[in-house]
Amino acid sequence: MRRFRYVIADVFTDEPLTGNALAVFTDARDLSETDMQVLARETNLSESVFVLPPTTAEADVRIRIFTPAVELPFAGHPTLGAAFVLGGPLSKIVLRIETGAGIVPVTLERDGAQIVFGRMEQPVPRWESVVDPAPILAALGVERSGLPVERYDLGPGHVYVELDSPGAVQGLSPDIGALARATQDGVNCFAHVEGSRWKTRMFAPNHGVAEDPATGSAAGPLAVHLARHGRIAFGEQIEISQGAEIHRPSTLFATTEGEGDRIDRVEVGGSAVLVARGEFGF
């Protein structure tokens, strides 16, 4: 029987048993791609991470990221969570993580020996208008979006729909089957709370995730979307609340730098806590 050790981290929170739970398999060298997908389906978390040696000297480690249904080239909470799990043993301030979308540097902040915060420089997304957003809006049960409905791609794809209020976001009850037919991407519904605070919910049924507690790969493009359309200033950090409706409250921070449609840098940050360790044998 082969045995594979894993760590469970709750990401985008500093409180155990909240945030977005992540399984990190710390040595996946003897796992096949099929094994990884089966294990991700077994954990049934939004994503599971499998740690491998890097393929380039520019990276410290390589990760592969699986939802219960598919492999993703990049995702935010798996990359940040893996940095929290690996940053201690590797004694790194900046951990360079090789993903399917390129190398993602994660800068770790410590309080003594404990890692308390991380900031990752995400791939700069590409974007395009959604030609016919009507099926998406209908599946969500909303009539309109305050900003143009646009799709952003940084490995995973995300569609953004602005609602009138945090209460409207909270009250969403989408038709998940219709949403899966309307788009292959995650659908991010958001509204302004006050000041730099925003509320979001993210639905990705085609990724095997009906609703995600915290979506790091959507936080960066949200900052880009808001800056491009003048809702925030470039360089302004936003605070994103997500996950309360599924009893996993999460907090994410995102910033983008650039001007107009020129995006120079996208950064997403948050905390994480390690809550469990174990091993699978099969």
What number of CA atoms fall less than 13 Å from residue 154's CA on the CB side?
27
Cα separation of the two ends of the chain = 5
Q: Tell me how far apart the alpha carbons of residues 25 and 196 are, in angstroms, rounded to a whole number.
A: 35
CB 40 within 8 A of CB 50: no
Bridge partners of 209?
A: 204
Burial class (CB in 10 A: 0-12, 13-18, 19+), 177: exposed
Q: Which of 15, 33, 42, 47 is catalytic?
A: 47
Q: Tell me how far apart the alpha carbons of residues 166 and 151 are, in angstroms, rounded to a whole number.
A: 21
Residues 6+ apart with CB under 8 A from 208: 41, 67, 68, 69, 70
CB 113 within 8 A of CB 89: no
47 is catalytic: yes
Q: Tell me how far apart the alpha carbons of residues 219 and 141 are, in angstroms, rounded to a whole number.
A: 23
Angle, helices 76-90/216-228, rounded to nearest 10 degrees: 120
Per DSSP, the chain holds a count of helices (H) and strands (E) of 6, 18
Kind and range of the H or E element at 266? strand 262-270
DSSP strand pairing (209-212 vs 238-242):
unpaired
Which are the catalytic amino acids?
47
